[in-house]
Chain A
Amino acid sequence: MASLQDLPGARGRYAIFGRVFLYAILLLFAAYYLLPLGVMVSTSLKSAAELRSGSLISLPRDFSFEAWGFAWNKANVGVNATGLAPYFWNSVVMVVPSVLISTFMGALNGYALTKWKFPGANLLFALILFGSFIPFQLVLLPMSLTLGFLGLAGTTAGLVLVHVVYGLAFTTLFFRNYYTSIPDDLVKAATIDGAGFFQIFFKIMLPISTPIMVVSIIWQFTQIWNDFLFGASFSSGASAPITVALNNLVNTTTGVKQHNVDMAAAIIAALPTLIVYVLAGKYFVRGLTAGSVKG
């Protein structure tokens, strides 16, 4: 198809005016979204002295990474001057297994729900889907009882369990919708070829699931890394994830308020999800729309 600008009459005065207007609006919104991040970055690069003298939106005179280093391993988190580093690794240790397990189980659920239809499969799917609409505050109490019963209260393993359970609703939804677009003939052919339930899953379905797997991993990674509620409720002290540690660092009431350190800490806490988006963002969009249009 010819591009829209090449159509006859598409370059009139009004069209150009419309285009200028459009870009102006887009630039305005971009600035609106980027300004807070800009202020954060610029503040985190200022020294303590400069912070006190300059205004909030002025750019730093000399760049200093001092605040970043301080936030990473010297700042007071709660009562200990450990910096964010140990909590960062807490989060990594919690996020990686949570993401992998919930994605894998979502794939298995989606596969069973679409390719091995059993009576009530749709009802079961609807019930699983219901999990994605439950406000998580609602489950805090029963979940803490469950974790206590299992002996997992206050441990990273407990948090992994919570995140896997509440991630399943989303990952199942992703994979179920993706596998609906995969023709059933593939499973029939493999059945006649002699492959069983798990052989078909591992040898055929999983290898063709890359786009939706990327979606699921990004989604779960972002959700679990950014989670504060479960982290604050089900972890204790040294096992807290970075979101909880960030809160403790920023809300420390003793000493002078170090805004540059707060900003650096917040950026450190947000960095992994940003990196994941930058690296895999295009797969995310591609995966979300996969199956909606026939290839």
Chain B
Amino acid sequence: MATLTIKNVQKRYGTVAVLKGIDLELHDGEFLVLLGPSGCGKSTLLNMIAGLDTITDGAIEIDGRVINDIHPKDRDIAMVFQSYALYPNMSVARNIAFGLEMRGMNKPDREVAVKKVAALLQMEHLLDRKPAQLSGGQRQRVAMGRALVRDPKVFLFDEPLSNLDAKLRVDMRTEIKKLHQRLGTTIVYVTHDQIEAMTLATRIAIMKEGVVQQFAPPQEVYEQPANIYVASFIGSPAMNFIPAQIVSEADRIGVRIEGAQGASVLPLPAPSAAVLKKVGHDVILGVRPETIARYQHGTNLPPNFARFSAQVSVTEPTGADTLTYLALGGRDAIARVPPKEAPNAGEVAEFTVDMARACLFDPKTEQRVG
């Protein structure tokens, strides 16, 4: 258990900058997820924490100790690889004990440590097998056991679930979360799967082209994305982005969008100073599909809800919800409505949107406004 500090870390290969100054600070027992598409530098950063790659500039500290020039084996870290990287020639028990063996621990102590970890991961019956005789999920468990047995300060996970089938992936995800809750270890976890990031992390760092776009707890990343990139990366179906304009109408501020029957103005509850400055400017309205609902006639809307009508182009029932495609602001927007309330394709229907949960983005910088 430890704190991890990443200070202005950079990585260049020749003239190509892969990481352009990363700053992250992790408290004891935190679960950091590095999230981003392939090529964003997240694995490079993990390898630099592990010591498998050199740091061009900046510093990485574990518990306040700079580890830039320290050999991987002396960093007190353990890593779980995407390919599991189990030693094919060794039994499961020896795989788990290998790190201890290399550190000169005697055999009886190693056996005790292996037994303890095997019990923790419920794989006592696998100890004598070779990796080739294990299923994907079992290999994954052994790889975690190999990391756990050393009781390191920081755990590093490099896309550990991406080689598993869908069902097993969900199970192992829960198991990793349970393990983290039980052991309270500091973890850095790399993935490109936003669901894994949301479910596991205490904080997510979303990366793009070597730059951290946002570093915040999952719920904050979801509700207050720093920019359009983050907003579109997290959430499925993705957030709707609707071209709009901020207008001042009578005594209130709102956004004007083009709907089925001309423009409608959706009032903004409690607009911030930054939003007020943008009156008259174009913005991009970001609306999550679940904040759009069917308008029930005769109900009194809370003040933060706005009403608009739109033409429905397609509906996609998913069982729990029906995804409804609306023509809004010249493009398709998706609403996630309960199946009972789902309109028919082709009809013009009235909807409400919770404007307190909407986001506004600057169309040029793509950053969130206010």
Contacts and interface: CB of A to CB of B under 8 A. Distances in A.
Contacts of A193: 73, 98-99, 102, 146
Interface string B65-102: 00000001100011101111101111000000011001
Closest 4 CB pairs of A and B: A194-B102, A185-B85, A207-B89, A193-B99
B50 interface: yes
B89 A188 contact: no
Contacts, number: 52
Interface of A: 183, 185-186, 188-195, 199, 203-204, 207-208
A185 B82 contact: yes
A190 B81 contact: no
Contacts of A188: 50, 52, 79, 81, 85
B309 to A, nearest CB: 55
Contact of B102 (A185, A195, A208): A195
Given A188-B50, A189-B81, A192-B78, 5 more contacts: A189-B85, A190-B98, A194-B102, A204-B89, A208-B88
Interface residue SS majority, chain B: loop
A192 B98 contact: no
11 contacts: A183-B83, A183-B85, A190-B98, A191-B52, A191-B72, A192-B52, A192-B99, A193-B146, A195-B102, A204-B90, A208-B88
Contacts of B340: none
B182 interface: no
B322 to A, nearest CB: 42
Interface in B274-312: none
Nearest to B84: A185
A194 B146 CA distance: 13
A155 B77 CA distance: 54
A190 B94 CA distance: 12
Contacts of B84: 185
A32 B79 CA distance: 60
B167 interface: no
Contact of A190 (B83, B87, B103): B87
Nearest to B102: A194
Nearest to A204: B87
Nearest to A182: B88
A280 B27 CA distance: 58
Given A204-B89, A208-B89, A192 B50 contact: yes
Interface in B9-23: none
Nearest to B147: A192
Contacts of B89: 204, 207-208
Contacts of A186: 85, 87
Nearest to A295: B132
B159 to A, nearest CB: 11
A185 B81 contact: yes
B145 to A, nearest CB: 13
A199 B102 contact: yes
